[in-house]
Amino acid sequence: MKTIFNNLHQCHDSSMELFEGSIVPAFEKPQRAELIRQRINEVHLGPIVNASEFPLRFATAVHDLRMVAFIENAYTEWEQLGRTGGAIPYSFLARGCCCNAVPVSLDGRLAYYTFDVATPVTRTSWQAVKGSVDTALTAAKLLHDGERAAFALCRPPGHHAGTDYYGGYCFLNNAAIAVNAIVEEGSQRVAVLDIDYHHGNGTQEIFYRRDDVLFVSIHADPTHEFPFFSGHADEAGASDGEGFNLNFPLPAGTGWKVWSEALGNALSRIAAYGPDVLVVSLGVDTYHGDPISHFLLGQEDFIRLGKRIASLQRPTLFVMEGGYAVDELGINVVNVLTGYEGA
């Protein structure tokens, strides 16, 4: 399997984040992508290909143009105000408030567009954000050109970014942008299987009213885990998309047995849908050693998981999402891919 990589990922390095009341080193850091690349080389998974550049219209086909422009330009405005560090909000939307009017000031737009303080726009973040989208689009093009599978080693991740909001380390939704491009290229049906520990709230929202994209997610129960307000089992899609959104929220402490049962149900639904292409939002923060997550998958489980995904026998695009146990990150991610390849 080919891996698509983009050196520009290093342009996003937020160094610190606010987590559980403390300022801590950022969990989502450049080392993540580098270690995965290193492991890919070690096990000779396949060629590592540089990402090509794609027009921004692929991103704005999925995201609000104003938000995309905001992410591109926020740091310049931030700096003009004499501020340092990454651009983050100090306030957020309160429930019940009017949210139709986009505020004008920078702090107001930050409050409008992002939902946490863990996703700062730094001086060079945009290069990484755009580069991450290009990584996913390059991989999608490989599939279009006949590859059976490809791995988009995206960084920053994307699945928490919605039509007009970003957060959870994600700016633009790489997977969703790739899915939309695949549909535009002529696929009738695309399935997204999101196996990150956290619910892919952005991807769900983007496709919630569409029946040409089936979104299936296995994740930590949002009543206990980020993103907290999305990912419940009763969120089944709306309008044309009703029945095309399927969530499997699982409790803390979930290990392979329960997780793989959910995977079996997810794969059955995907098989019944019969997608032209499968896009996997690949997070490995389901690993028992992950510092911010509470599932108990082991390294070998990731191989099994890859095999199970391969059993669908669909052209498959893996898009990198989360996973923060850095020392084992390369092993866990590549185990999924070798599991898939060896199936």
Interacting residues toward its own copies by CB under 8 A: 18-23, 78, 81, 83-88, 90-99, 101, 103-105, 107-108, 111-112, 115-118, 120, 162-165, 167-168, 201, 205, 222-230, 232, 235
Chain centroid offset of residue 200 CA: 7
Minimum Å gap between C-beta 279 and its own copies is 22
H/E element, 245: strand 245-250
Specify the residue, 117 or 258, whose C-beta has the smaller distance to its own copies.
Answer: 117
Of 276, 280, 324, the closest CA to residue 174 belongs to 280
Tokens of 178: 């790739």
Spatial neighbors of 231 by CB under 8 A, at least 6 apart, are 199, 201, 204, 217, 219, 221, 222, 247, 249
Provide CB contacts within 8 A for 116, sequence distance 6+: 167, 168
Q: Which residue lies nearer to its own copies by CB, 162 or 275?
A: 162
Which of residues 42 and 79 has its CB atom nearest to its own copies in the complex? 79
Residue 231 or 315 with smaller CB distance to its own copies = 231
User: Distance of CA 319 to CAs 52, 150, 176, 266, Å?
Assistant: 16, 9, 10, 18
Residue 161 vs 331, nearer CB to its own copies? 161
Structure tokens at 231: 């990912």
Query: Smallest distance, Å, CB 86 to its own copies?
Result: 7
The residue written with tokens 């959910």 in the block is 262
- Which residue number, 227 or 330, has a Cβ lying nearer to its own copies? 227
Q: Which amino acid is at 251?
A: P
Beta bridge partners of 334: none
C-alpha radius of gyration, the chain, whole number: 18
Peptide bond into 55 cis (omega under 30): no
Q: How far apart are the first and last CA of the chain?
A: 13
Q: Which is nearer to its own copies, 228 or 299 (CB)?
A: 228
Q: Which residues have a catalytic role annotated?
A: 160
Sheet arrangement for strand 149-152: 48-50, 2-5, 149-152, 316-320, 277-282, 190-194, 213-220, 245-250
Q: How far is the CB of 253 from its own copies (least distance, A)?
A: 14
Sequence-ordered list of residues with C-beta below 8 angstroms from that of 150, at least 6 positions apart, any chain: 1, 2, 3, 4, 139, 140, 142, 143, 316, 317, 318
